[in-house]
Amino acid sequence: MREKIFVTRPSMPAFEEYIEAIKPLWDTRWLTNMGVCHGQLEARLKEYLGTPEVSLMVNGHMALELAIQMMGFPAGAEIITTPFTFISTTHAIVRNLLSPVFCDVKPENGTIDEKKIEELITKKTVAILPVHIYGNVCQVEEIQRIADEHGLKVIYDAAHAFGVRYKGKGIASYGDASMFSFHATKVFNTIEGGAVAFSNPEYAQKLYNLKNFGIRGEEIVTEVGANAKMNEFCAVMGLCNLNHIEEAIKNRKERYEFYRRELSKVKGIRLFKENEDTERNYGYFPILVEDGYGKTRDELYCQLRERNIYARKYFYPLTADQACFGKSYADVELMHARDLAGRVLTLPLYEGLYMEKAEEIVTLISEFPQKDK
């Protein structure tokens, strides 16, 4: 039976390295509640991400949800965001009793179209929530200009952008806050986890309260909070993986560049435009199946699955078109986002993907349009 090749595979340290690193937990029995390893990981991430403050969370979704909540927006306020993203982005807004206002994206890289943001601003608008989709950096300067002019907050969903640098600065340097996901599928993982990066020191205490029930002492709870703390086992996994992050990114880069070089030659396969000012993390490799390919995206998807190659339609349908929202956003003009969602296919890319498998994937994509002709 052919080996199954999934769209990603978690990076992990050597078994012995992780076991050695968790041994002290059997002595201290300090397994959660902001332990020693939790503090060490926060400190190392501040340095790596180039940001003054980092607050670790149990997962990326809670990081984003609490980042929004800490801003104190009134119920019913509006946040301008993109529908071309994982559903978590939209859920984090809705679960804060706020309304997502969907903005179309740019066809060349899938990021929010900054030229269309201002026309969506109303008296209810309180923030802009863009996504660095696939690690493609949003037009951060123009987004910040718009936010400053209209008195809005900017919260970035940077789940795909761990380690990405733009114009020499860590991506967490932009906006009021950035959320990172450390899920097992990401370039950097803590098994399950996430973080909020920010520069305003006032946010630190607010996020601490929100992720720890609002507890500020043995006998005092100052506000209503959730339980979103990262445990020590996850923190240790993060510390171990951070030791090898440069090697992991280099490994991914080799496969990413092979895909890009070879698939750019295939008629009807379009690749997203890259920004020369960006240092990438090579987390994803999406392709767009255009009409000139001769087969549809879904046909290619099925052809790959027949060979146990599990590419994914990241992101289809749009969050705005998901069943949980019914027809609420059916009439919203999202021409480019809907077009991309119908064409995108994210190929397997991960540390340790055998090059012969990447070559097989390229061959299948190249030869498939000729099949059954």
Q: Is residue 3 part of a domain?
A: no
Per 3-state DSSP, the chain is made up of helix, strand and coil in percentages (nearest 5) of 40, 20, 40
Here the CATH number for the domain that contains residue 313 is 3.90.1150.10
Residues 203 and 84 in one domain: yes
**Has residue 1 got a pLDDT over 70?**
no
pLDDT at 55 over 60: yes
The total number of residues written for the chain in this structure: 373
Q: Give the domain extent around 307.
A: 245-370
The mean pLDDT value of the chain amounts to 97
202 and 294 in one domain?
Answer: no
pLDDT the model gives residue 367: 95
Q: How many domains does the chain have?
A: 2
- 252 and 349 part of one domain: yes
- H or E, element range at 31: none
pLDDT at 215 over 80: yes
Q: Are both 355 and 252 inside the same structural domain? A: yes
- Specify the DSSP class assigned to residue 345: E
> Does residue 163 register a pLDDT over 90?
yes
pLDDT of the residue at 339:
98
pLDDT tens digits, one per residue of 97-125? 999 999 999 999 999 999 999 999 999 99
Strand partners, 285: 347
Position 273 pLDDT exceeds 60? yes
pLDDT digits (tens, 9 = 90+) for 36-46: 999 999 999 99
Let me know whether 238 and 249 are in one domain: no
Do 319 and 353 lie in one domain? The reply is: yes
Same domain, 60 and 154: yes
